[in-house]
Structure 1
Amino acid sequence: METATSKTTEEKAPSPTTAEKPSPAPPAMIDTPKMSTSTETPPMSPPFSPSSTTPVLEKEELDFGGNVDVNDDIPTEKELKRVDDLLVLDANGVSRPFKDIYRGEGVAPKQLIIFVRHFFCGNCQEYLRTLSSSITPESLIALPTPAFITVIGCGRPELIDMYVKETNCPFPVYADPTRKLYDYLGMTRTWDLGKKPSYIQSNLLTTSIQSVMQSLKVGNKALKGGDFKQVGGEFLFEDGKPTWVHRMRNTRDHSEVEDVRRLLGLNAKKPPLRKRWSHSIKAERKKSSTWGHRVRSKSRGSKDSPVNGNGTAKAQGEQEMTLKETPTV
């Protein structure tokens, strides 16, 4: 009986582990989640585009006085294999591999691929307007070494028709809404304007108003133009191999049209001036260069009138002779 009583007593005794259990930490010692600040929040990307891992250029790096994080190195064979099978989309959403643009059956020996920013970018639209007023598909195909141009943007394909209409671009336009081509080919992201190039024939206010009006016209597609910070560049392929590259360092850093003409085998003449707000080229107006020329034209019109009895025609002829001897001003 004593043995049974002792066992019962031992079973009811508290265990050492229970007695030595540490007390909970005071509320002040418990870690609470920190509220993130605006500086800690990563930049937002459009819902159709993954976050980019490409470097973002700081403003102080963009005055062309020092080194920047992008270069004009030609893609290696390994880098090209990485992007060859990435898909681009046409205006109908039909996809094709990137490699089909610069090599393969029916592709011109020289192929310049222009990567533009979002489809509402007024600077890139100005670039294509100026480029299209200076270079036509017919002029490129007629070269001893035929060439061609293809444009790729980072927005949704359903905005391509609007983009072609606004720029009057005669070259094919594709979309890469994933921006993987931009990332893998070393293009960067920035908002910096940089210096104004000669291909922009409108002022900043005009291009900004155009962008806003275009956004309003497309309604719910206004947020599908592409990443506003993404910049592009130009890649030249010859016989399927990259031979020349220019990556944009700011939002207005496309290659000048004269340089593109020279690159493709055309003479490097300046592109014609265009009408403001449109793609149309300004018509040449013949202006009277001197005051004397304008007066001579007027006097010739009077000379054709009938001669009256007072010898008016003779007096007009003498006036014309005097004007011919008058020095121009």
Structure 2
Amino acid sequence: MATIETKQDVTAPAPAQHKSTPAPLVPGNPTPPPSQAGTEPKISTSADTPDNISPPFSPSSTTPVLEKDDVGLDFAGNVDVNDDLPTEHDLKRVGDLLVLDAKGQSRPFKDLYQGEGVAPRQLIIFVRHFFCGNCQEYLRTLSSSITPESLLALEQPTFITVIGCGRPELIDMYVETTNCSFPVYADPTRKLYDLLGMTRTFDLGKKPGYIHSNLFVTSVQSIMQGIKTGNKALKGGDFKQVGGEFLFEEGKCVWVHRMKNTRDHSEVTEVRRLVGLDGTRPPMRKRWSHSVKKATAEGKEKEGIAGRMRSASWGKVRVRSKSRGAKGVTPPGETKEEEEMKLSGRPTV
């Protein structure tokens, strides 16, 4: 029986292709489901996190910190900090923190404003890194306008102390460069700056009255100072750290100014008004006036003794010459005529 093969058309027409239309948005569900939108859900990774996000200076810091993308070359704007007084809790936290002198010897911070033998009123100035030309200019102007003697002569004796955020081995260089007449300490950890509400910024701000040189000169001087110190060039302190001024009376903080930019120290005229100098001559305290009078009396007495000795010696010479002339004694090698000519003022031949 013959087998008859029949061909069947197995080719089926392809279904019509059409674009899927997303489902209409439903009120209360503004984002369509991934299946309706035709896209896969995006999985966020660490690569999507901006790299300019960084934690504050320390976990306890509540002060604003400028991030690197916020710092422009034009140095525009100020940091938003306040001048609120530190609380008793804040002062307890910082009281036992150590500051270092030029020899590396440490002492608690609270000893600077309530320790034994310190003035009852203490102005503590926090400066930036030890190579900062702006802070150096500030201390030069301050030291030329206010002296330790004028502060201690006030009715309420006052003193000034300076604290920087660099290493203590740079303090001697800093004092010599600034001609600072006040003691300088170091807080390399910057914990005092942080806990007392001071911040960090590169913002330059407007030029204050205490700076007498231009920005280029101070910048070059800062660079040269760093080069001269050799391996200490990187020990000056954090370049972004700014400071401020804190006035203590009888162990309590009564006035605060925190820097908003790198040139925002309190003007020297304001400091003079704050401590009570006000451009007037302060009254001399008894112990100072007594020492001045004593020194003056001693000087006059010494001058009188010296004057009497000179008069006595000159009188002896005159008496000796008169007695010699009265006796008619002629010096050896001279004739009587020559001696008379000398006494009359006539030249001798």
Does the pair score TM above 0.5? yes
Partner in structure 2 of residue 160 of structure 1: 171
Change in CA separation of 1:127 and 1:36 when aligned onto 2, cut-off 3 Å: farther
Q: In structure 2, the residue corresponding to 1:223 is in which secondary structure? A: coil
Q: Across the two proteins, how many residue pairs are aligned to each other?
A: 232
The CA deviation at 1:144 is 1.0
Deviations 1:25-83 (A, max 9, x none): xxxxxx9x9679993475999xxxx799442145699646xxx5310001111110000
CA distance in structure 2 between the partners assigned to 1:43 and 1:36 by the alignment:
17
Deviations 1:128-163 (A, max 9, x none): 000001001011111111100000000000000000
Is 2:56–2:65's contact at 8 Å kept on the other side of the alignment? no
Q: Given residue 177 of structure 2, which amino acid in structure 1 is its aligned partner?
A: E
Q: Does 1:39 align with 2:51?
A: yes
Q: Given residue 256 of structure 1, which amino acid in structure 2 is its aligned partner?
A: E
CA distance in structure 1 between the partners assigned to 2:228 and 2:56 by the alignment:
24
Picking from 249, 258, 271, the partner of 2:269 is 258
Moved over 3 A (4+): 33-45, 50-54, 57-64
Is 1:259–1:268's contact at 8 Å kept on the other side of the alignment? no
Q: In structure 2, the residue corresponding to 1:118 is in which secondary structure? A: coil
Is 2:77–2:203's contact at 8 Å kept on the other side of the alignment? no
1:118-133 aligned at under 5 Å gives the runs 118-133=129-144
Is 2:202–2:262's contact at 8 Å kept on the other side of the alignment? yes
Partner in structure 1 of residue 238 of structure 2: 227
Q: Does 1:69 align with 2:103?
A: no
1:1-329 aligned at under 5 Å gives the runs 39-40=51-52, 42=54, 53=61, 54-57=63-66, 63=77, 68-268=79-279
Is 1:62–1:249's contact at 8 Å kept on the other side of the alignment? no
Deviations 1:222-274 (A, max 9, x none): 000000000000000011110000000000000000000111110248xxxxx
- Unaligned 5+ residue runs, structure 1? 1-30, 270-329
CA distance in structure 2 between the partners assigned to 1:210 and 1:51 by the alignment:
35
Quick one: percent identity of the two aligned structures?
A: 74
CA distance in structure 1 between the partners assigned to 2:186 and 2:76 by the alignment:
27
CA distance in structure 1 between the partners assigned to 2:126 and 2:60 by the alignment:
16
- Unaligned 5+ residue runs, structure 2? 1-42, 281-349
Is 2:60–2:195's contact at 8 Å kept on the other side of the alignment? no
The CA deviation at 1:188 is 0.3
CA distance in structure 2 between the partners assigned to 1:136 and 1:218 by the alignment:
29
CA distance in structure 1 between the partners assigned to 2:279 and 2:169 by the alignment:
35
**TM-score, with structure 1 as normaliser:** 0.65
CA distance in structure 1 between the partners assigned to 2:225 and 2:56 by the alignment:
23
Change in CA separation of 1:206 and 1:38 when aligned onto 2, cut-off 3 Å: farther
CA distance in structure 2 between the partners assigned to 1:113 and 1:75 by the alignment:
14
Is 1:62–1:250's contact at 8 Å kept on the other side of the alignment? no
Q: Given residue 39 of structure 1, which amino acid in structure 2 is its aligned partner?
A: D
CA distance in structure 1 between the partners assigned to 2:132 and 2:97 by the alignment:
24
CA distance in structure 1 between the partners assigned to 2:151 and 2:71 by the alignment:
37
